[in-house]
Amino acid sequence: MASVRSQTLFSWFTVWSILVTLLSLSTPAAADNVTWIKYTGNDGTIWLKDDRRPALYTRDFGDCQGDSLINVTRFDAAYYKDNMTVLFHLEGSSALTNESLMMYIGVFAYGESRFNLTFNPCSANIDSLCPLNSSIPISANGIIPIAQADVATIPAIAVTIPDFEGQAILRIFANSTQSQIACFSAVVTNGATFAHASAVGPILGVFAVIAVISSVAVAIYGQNIPETRKHYAHSISVFVVFSVYHHIFFTGALSMNWPSVLVAFWSNYAWSAGMIYSQRMQNSINQFIGSNTGNISVVGAAPNGENAIGLGGGYQISQIYKRAASLPFEPHEGTGVTFRPNELEHVLKRRALANSTDGYSWYGTPVKPGLPLPGNFSGFAGTLAELDIPASNAFLTGLLWFLILMACLLGTMFVLKWGVEALAAMRVVKTNRLGYFRKHWLRFAGAAVLRTCYIAFFMMMLLTMFQFTFGGSSGVKAIAAVVFAVLLVGMLAICGLALWYRTKLEALPEVAGQDSQGAVDHEKKTHSAWYKISRSRTHPNQSAEGEARPSTWLQRHFPVLNSGRVHVHDDPNYTTKFGWLSSRFRRSKWWFFSFWSIYEFVRAAFYGGAAGRALTQVFGLLAWEIIALVAIVLMRPFESNRLNLLMVYLLGFSKVATVALSSAFDTRFGLDRIMTTVIGVIIIVIQGILTICLMLAIILGSISSYMSITRYRETIKPRSWLKPRTRYFAHVDRKATDRPKPRPPPPPPEPEAPKEPYFSVSAVRREPKIEDEGQDKENLDGPGSHRASMDPVHGAYGQGPASRTQSMRSRTSMSNVPYGARVHRTSWSMRDFQDMGIEQGSTPTQSRMSVDSMHDVANRHRASSLRGPSRSGAVNESSDTIPSGLNGQPLLSRHKRVASMPGGPKRNSSVVNEEKENGPVEEV
């Protein structure tokens, strides 16, 4: 064991020693290939790599004069922030024999001048330009030191922000005529960009392929066509995927002056619109087109090779010669040594080699014919320039890639068919599940081709109408006219045929003999706003008075589609022929494909047909998108909730918001370029969120497709998806009926609580009565009041028994109260009760009696005494046998009885004299 371990350790040590030796040998060789530059500044001497990336540098360049007398093959400039220098290169040739020159270099960022320099090439030791001679090739390079004040206007964020928007302009003037003889413009960048077509494009393509596989797998799986259609409607739609991609990329077809960030971002989606750059394809198209490449200024772009007078704000020749510097390489205070030292001379010579692999490589090339000036991103031409595709080649490029896609689809269907046959022969797949596809695979291939044409309808309509507006070669316009007619007429004809074929379906037996307008089938039971608006109370062929009226051509050939016929989703024959159009839509909106075709055609007309008319494009399209958004939101056409959310709400909002924000980019509004960049970033955020939501929908759609193709299996992997699959199948079945989701059952009723009094009296307020209209109630307790005159005990305030004359003077005879009615006070207060208790005192019995009851007792007692003896006998006058009442007065025998007066106020209790109750009724 010890020997084995020692051998193992020795072998590892040997391998490690060999690796260290190789690394040590290779490091000096690599170091020898690196060129270092010494720079002495305020902070001392530092060494910088020769091939380091500049903070800002130029890329492709173009001719901004058109008739330049100097043919430039290379022009680049760079700004190094670490040693505060500007480096430029210039190579070319000229036919001028002997001409002294003046050169001007200006750097513009976001529409404003940030740096400019005018110098004489003879003073800058540029021998090939001092003077300019046709026999000497132009090879100019220089290092221009600058001070901090020279770049103070360049913000610090410029060296890090993606897609820095800047231009470097080189103007060359002849001293003999003091006129411009050459102008070249190059785009300035910092290397950071949103354009990652080689990375982002494939990712988007992979998601599109996943959507295609998920959709095709659900479409070919199963024998029951209506059941297959039901699951196919909930898979992710390739139509929706490319609608999102096309919306994002073709926003650049508006004739606006786009910020560079938007153009770079849209280039990631160019492949979906057929804008894929191929050098061999572009060369072939150029040969077919010839020299007639059209005029991109028609669509709002600044063409290359033409005189751009206002580029960079223009120039004034007098100012050029006033600002001419005598020696730009003089030392500047605070910038260190700026003369060209000996160690830089060989570096400059090596940098002049354009094809060098180990020297300076941060330079561009001349732009191709038909492209706009670098740094100009106006219109569809500016969007395509990011891809190096001229606007004149756009239509043919898209058409060729579209035809290639169609060929690939047919080949894929062929491979899929025979692949399934091979798997079935090896018994890997069940033959009965894919039997319908194996038998009718050619029909599936045709449906795939037609579906692709339907998806590409907007793209091809836009490109053809853009070619008509742009002009160009007559051959290209002829091809565009043919494609336009075939696609437009063919697609509209197929949509019309699908609608007409619906009327030829067989009638349902249960409603075949009923009136079509009176029959309310399942489709009309759906809550459709369009149906509620258009529904008529009378027969379509009858007037309001019931008179018959002649039917129109549309009514004869297109009767009510939703009346008494088998639905398209339930008819296998219709689904086989036109399912590629209608299968994804709700039962009540199966015809939505025709509406979408018209909607896309109008959009394409604004994008392509109105190219060059910026305001017409943006505001007309904005109105159309708003109208379409409202209509589609009301319809919610898709059967799948995911597709409705993505296509109706998210995509609709993105279209409206993008067009509305794009209106700010029109040059007539004069919006600051920094602000346009901010708006561009907002559009990127909106469209980026839309893309992320689309990717999530594709992932969820692939999962649901997996559940759909395993619907005949008892179990799936992972097993945790069994319950979600069951809920998903229930959701699919419910959505297929196109009925609203049933309301949840009401909760069980709570047990009844024991019944208790449901009201309580918290306060009582007495309202005025009829008798209150008489004498003031304040006199009731006065000396001449009725109460005092009727008191048999006290008389008038204790003055002895009252006489009959006095007793007959009642309140009744002095007011409008009917005879026998009792007068009450309007209101009683606690003080009244207290005063009564003090004056009269109370017995236990009286304390339980109300005030009115006590007055009633007194009145009845007096009335009994006036009538004399009762029917039972004389009243015993002896005071020792009669109980005493108030103040020692005798009380007659009486008993309590509940009494009520009809029509009068109800009393709880009263004391009624027994003798009066049993006696005869007294006549009045």
Can you give the residue ranges of every domain in the chain? 54-192+318-327+338-369
96 or 153: which leads in pLDDT: 96
Give φ, ψ of 645 to 5 degrees: -65, -45
pLDDT at residue 381, as a whole number: 92
pLDDT of 759-775, one tens digit each? 677 787 777 766 665 55
Residue 887's pLDDT band (cuts 50, 70, 90): very low
Residue 655 in this model has a pLDDT that exceeds 80? yes
Report which listed range, 72-76, 855-859, 912-916, is most confident: 72-76
Of the chain, the percentage scoring pLDDT greater than 90 comes to: 35
Residue 50's pLDDT band (cuts 50, 70, 90): low
Residue 682 in this model has a pLDDT that exceeds 50? yes
Residue 37 in this model has a pLDDT that exceeds 60? yes
Residue 708 in this model has a pLDDT that exceeds 50? yes
Buried b (16+ CB within 10 A) or exposed e, 764-800: eeeeeeebbeebeeeebeeeebbebbbbbbbbbeeee
Residue 276's pLDDT band (cuts 50, 70, 90): very high
CA–CA separation, 791 vs 809, rounded Å? 12
R_g over Cα of the chain: 51
Residue 520 in this model has a pLDDT that exceeds 50? no
Of the chain, the percentage scoring pLDDT greater than 70 comes to: 67
Residue partners of 321: CB distance under 8 A and separation at least 6: 102, 118, 173, 178
Residue 526's pLDDT band (cuts 50, 70, 90): very low
Residue 697 in this model has a pLDDT that exceeds 90? yes
Q: What is the pTM of this model?
A: 0.72
pLDDT at residue 836, as a whole number: 60
Residue 252 in this model has a pLDDT that exceeds 50? yes
Residue 388 β-bridge partners: none
Identify the CATH number of the domain defined by range 54-192+318-327+338-369: 2.60.40.770
DSSP 607: I
Contact 35, 49 (CB under 8 A): yes
pLDDT of 709-721, one tens digit each? 999 888 888 899 9
**C-alpha 52 chain-centroid distance:** 44
Residue 138's pLDDT band (cuts 50, 70, 90): confident
pLDDT at residue 521, as a whole number: 42
CA–CA separation, 705 vs 822, rounded Å? 92
Residue 338 in this model has a pLDDT that exceeds 70? no
Q: How many CB atoms lie within 10 A of CB 403?
A: 11
671 or 151: which leads in pLDDT: 671
pLDDT at residue 365, as a whole number: 85
Q: Which two tokens stand for residue 921?
A: 């009724």
Residue 401's pLDDT band (cuts 50, 70, 90): very high
Q: Which two tokens stand for residue 836?
A: 């009564």
Residue 534's pLDDT band (cuts 50, 70, 90): very low
CA–CA separation, 845 vs 847, rounded Å? 5
Residue in this structure with the two tokens 């103040």, named with its chain if needed = 887
Residue 285 in this model has a pLDDT that exceeds 50? yes
Residue (of 666, 572, 559) closest to 612 by Cα position = 666
Contact 729, 710 (CB under 8 A): no
Alpha helices in 426-534 (DSSP H): 435-439, 441-455, 457-470, 474-502, 522-525, 529-534
Buried b (16+ CB within 10 A) or exposed e, 254-282: bbbbbbbbbbbbbbbbbbbbbbbbeeebb
Contact 65, 180 (CB under 8 A): yes
Residue 786's pLDDT band (cuts 50, 70, 90): very low
Q: How many CB atoms lie within 10 A of CB 684?
A: 19
pLDDT at residue 396, as a whole number: 95
Residue 877's pLDDT band (cuts 50, 70, 90): very low
Work out the average pLDDT over 558-587.
Answer: 81
pLDDT at residue 748, as a whole number: 84
User: For the chain, how many helices (H) and strands (E)?
Assistant: 30, 12
| Element at 885 (helix H, strand E) | none
855 or 753: which leads in pLDDT: 753
pLDDT at residue 532, as a whole number: 37
4 or 601: which leads in pLDDT: 601
789 or 73: which leads in pLDDT: 73
Residue 477 in this model has a pLDDT that exceeds 80? yes
pLDDT at residue 519, as a whole number: 34
CA–CA separation, 607 vs 624, rounded Å? 12
pLDDT at residue 30, as a whole number: 41
Residue 899 in this model has a pLDDT that exceeds 80? no
pLDDT at residue 537, as a whole number: 38
Residue 524 in this model has a pLDDT that exceeds 70? no
9 or 284: which leads in pLDDT: 284
Residue 155's pLDDT band (cuts 50, 70, 90): confident
Q: Which two tokens stand for residue 519?
A: 């029959």
pLDDT at residue 293, as a whole number: 76
DSSP string computed for 95-142: S-SSB-EEEEEEEEETTEEEEEEEE-TTTTT-TTBTTB-TTS-EEEEE
Lowest-confidence region among 48-62, 497-511, 742-756, 863-877: 863-877
pLDDT of 288-315, one tens digit each? 988 777 788 887 788 888 888 778 777 7
